[in-house]
Amino acid sequence: MFEMPISNAGPFGTPIPSSAFGATQMYRGPERRSAALRSRHLWAATLDEIDYGMLLLTDETHAVHVNHAAKLELDGDHPLHLVGRELHARRPKDAQPLQDALHNAACRGLRKLLTVGEGRHRVSISVVPLRPISGEGNGHATLVWLGKRDVCEPLSVQGYARCYGLTAAETRVLIELCSGARPGEAAATLGVKISTVRTQIGNIRLKTGAESIRALVRQVAVLPPMVGALRHGAGAAEDRPGSSAGALPGDGLGAMDDSCPLPRPRLNG
């Protein structure tokens, strides 16, 4: 694919502190240690709320942090997997390109975008070198960013549907459209008449202000990805008084502010 040298700053504009990957530091007192611990927890919590698989590596292949999305992504079908805490490619054909990318990131500061796997399991990954803060150790870390396998994430679609007040049936149609299905294919999948699907598409466009199915799918595709609340134990919040009552069954969004910040359509007349 392509390689680029790392800039002076990390991928988020600030180099990651070496404390995030276990560099030895001198004693700084209980207050500063407590603040550092809180900072590390916030880093981990932030990464877990990003619905893209991310792995923080040291020593080229050793995973010191795997966010929630990556744990889900690295299933039996993914072309990468963890053996203990070491990141490896499943296919022998992918092993050397992955090893080279990780080595060049750690030792030469080069970014790399490469594709691993084959067929429907083919996926792109980004290998990004990170720099520790000067004076906090000389270890280097590498961020491995897993590419998405779906254009529109299901939870983002469901959050969008709740924002615009779509019915459960309209939401199911929207999910089919965002997966690339045509109206006829969506009707066959959902077991309804195509006239019903076309009516629901019309209702969705009216509620969202989308001029076409293509524009509708684009609106959803550019949404920030959402991570399910159920893994935090927040799903029970829907049953508490005063919590959001608009959740779709099994949507995993938990309690959510349903006041829609997205632009509403202008209705003539």
Does residue 57 sit in the same domain as residue 137?
yes
Whether residue 68 is contained in a domain is answered as yes
Does residue 34 sit in the same domain as residue 141?
yes
Does residue 97 sit in the same domain as residue 196?
no
Number of domains in the chain: 2
pLDDT at 55: 94
Alpha carbon distance 67, 44 (integer Å):
7
What's the pLDDT tens digit per position in 84-94?
999 999 999 99
Does residue 202 sit in the same domain as residue 135?
no
Whether residue 92 is contained in a domain is answered as yes
* pTM of full prediction above 0.75: no
Whether residue 107 is contained in a domain is answered as yes
Does residue 36 sit in the same domain as residue 139?
yes
What's the pLDDT tens digit per position in 106-140?
999 999 999 999 987 889 999 999 976 554 445 68
Alpha carbon distance 131, 109 (integer Å):
9
* CB-based contact 27:19 (threshold 8 Å): no
Provide the residue range defining the domain that includes 165: 154-238
Whether residue 267 is contained in a domain is answered as no
Does residue 89 sit in the same domain as residue 41?
yes
In this prediction, residue 167 has a pLDDT band, given cuts at 50, 70 and 90, of very high
Q: What is the CATH number of the domain that holds 180?
A: 1.10.10.10
pLDDT at 69: 86
Whether residue 265 is contained in a domain is answered as no
pLDDT at 242: 35
Task: Name the phi and psi angles at 17, rounded to 5.
Answer: -65, 145
